[in-house]
Amino acid sequence: MRGIIRSAIGVAFVSVDSVGLVALPAVVTVIAVGAAAVAAQETTVVVADGPPIWGSSPALVEEARIGTLMGEAEYAFGRVGGLVVAGDGTIWVSDIQLGAVRRYTADGVFIDQIGRKGEGPGEFETPVNMRVLPDASVVVWDYGLIRVTRFDASGAYVDSFTPPTHMIAWDIEELEVDPRGDLFLMGSNLPERTPEGPFRLRPFWIRMRSDGEVLDSVRLLPSSLDGTVDPIRTFTVLSPLGYLVTARNDEYAVELHVDPERTVRIERPWTPVRYQRAERVEKQRREETFSARNGRPVREIPREKPPFSFLHVDSEGRVWVLMHAPGYEEEESPGEQERREGACEFFAATEAECNANIEWWREPVAYEVIEPEGRLLGRVELPSRQTELMHARERRLWVVETGELGEEYVVRYRIEPGG
């Protein structure tokens, strides 16, 4: 998966002493959302049950759109890998198919192209995720070359390095930058056998300076999954503000491991969403197919959905929680069919497995946005199911939308409070 929304790898928090991020035994104090700064103590619980700051029904207003199906080449995307927004509003978009990075003004006007397919300095094989450093330079993670390349704010090549491990495990989203400008890249050791399945990867963060010097590592364990379809799982996200955010979606609670002496636990009331009968039947069929393929025990799909399926932390430390919602039935588009069949070919899936991956039941893409202090900003619903959140700042968000024929667009929306 690509971009910032995909930074929530399902891994369990184990130990991060090397970067000073440790969850200590809890001494719990409950405070109201609107209270003053959280007191420094081992764990503070914040109940996010206040009225949403953006109102009950905030709207998205489109401000800029980049992309075309039949137009000028510099506005046509093959496959967007990553997106960042510089401090001046310039939009950097990496294109996996093109093997290059393009820059656009805040209003979507093409500026230039950075790099091309190749292995030389400033060239790319598979440019995916990007991050902006505190000095305004931009780093690009190239999964194909296993290389990090840095450009200055004008797009000029600065330097590049190969991380000192050949065992980088995560192909797109797992690059992060903390406020000091240190880079975090996800790696893993060799897979090991487990009772739950044939193999398990042991992922960890590698912390490096922007020139590639390794500082230390942050060891993680894979998520303890319960099920394959709509699973119960543990999420660990590295916040751009420099701390870990963890959650397990069998409850609606998120923990911010702010420093060695303080963890903020944000709890939010929620109303369980029930599967419709036909929806649950489809989920069970897919569970049986893919659990068998992955060597996992088959779980019986419960009658109620987990509260959320994903979470992401934006550049301001706000937590975007992808909520489960009532399902609706809809056929896949030609673009979705093409991508599904391409994935089937890549993973060597059988025809039965490929057909089992057809999703007839969908959910709206709706996030609840919560500030680090625990205040609820509101619930934001993206315009279609084929929309992926890439970046968020203040009351604006940048997304990648996929058209009916599989073409992609980069769109900027403004959040307008309402209701």
Assign residue 125 the CATH number of its domain. Answer: 2.120.10.30
- Please indicate whether residue 290 or residue 15 has the higher confidence score (pLDDT): 290
Structural domain includes residue 284: no
For the chain, what is the radius of gyration of the CA atoms?
21
Structural domain includes residue 114: yes
Please give the DSSP secondary-structure letter assigned to residue 354.
Answer: H
Query: Cα–Cα distance between 20 and 1 in angstroms, integer?
Result: 28
Closest residue by Cα to residue 310 from 361, 372, 235, 252: 235
Dig out the tokens for 336 from the structure. 């979705």
160 pLDDT higher than 90: yes
Model confidence at 220, in pLDDT bands (50, 70, 90)? Answer: low
Please give the DSSP secondary-structure letter assigned to residue 304.
Answer: B
- Please indicate whether residue 133 or residue 350 has the higher confidence score (pLDDT): 133
In the chain, the amino acid numbered 305 is K
CA distances to 51, 185, 318, 344 from 370, rounded to whole Å, are 12, 26, 6, 36
67 pLDDT higher than 70: yes
Closest residue by Cα to residue 209 from 171, 244, 161, 158: 161
Closest residue by Cα to residue 205 from 177, 184, 178: 184
Structural domain includes residue 35: yes
Model confidence at 219, in pLDDT bands (50, 70, 90)? Answer: low
The pLDDT tens digits of the residues spanning 87-143 come to: 999 999 999 999 999 999 999 999 999 999 999 999 999 998 899 999 999 999 998
Structural domain includes residue 388: yes
Structural domain includes residue 39: yes
Structural domain includes residue 340: no
| H helical segments located in 188-251 | none
The pLDDT tens digits of the residues spanning 308-343 come to: 999 999 999 999 999 999 999 988 888 778 878 887
Q: How many helices (H) and strands (E) does the chain have?
A: 3, 31
24 pLDDT higher than 50: no
Closest residue by Cα to residue 142 from 191, 102, 94: 94
Closest residue by Cα to residue 9 from 139, 148, 173: 173
- This prediction has a pTM of 0.84
Q: Cβ(372)–Cβ(264) under 8 Å?
A: yes
Model confidence at 36, in pLDDT bands (50, 70, 90)? Answer: very low
Give the mean pLDDT of 367-374. 96
Q: Cβ(7)–Cβ(238) under 8 Å?
A: yes
Domains of the chain: total: 1
Domain that holds residue 247: 4-270+307-327+363-416
Mean predicted lDDT score pLDDT of the chain: 83
284 pLDDT higher than 90: yes
Residue 149 confidence (pLDDT): 96
Sign of dihedral through CA atoms 209, 211, 217, 218? positive
Please give the DSSP secondary-structure letter assigned to residue 122.
Answer: T
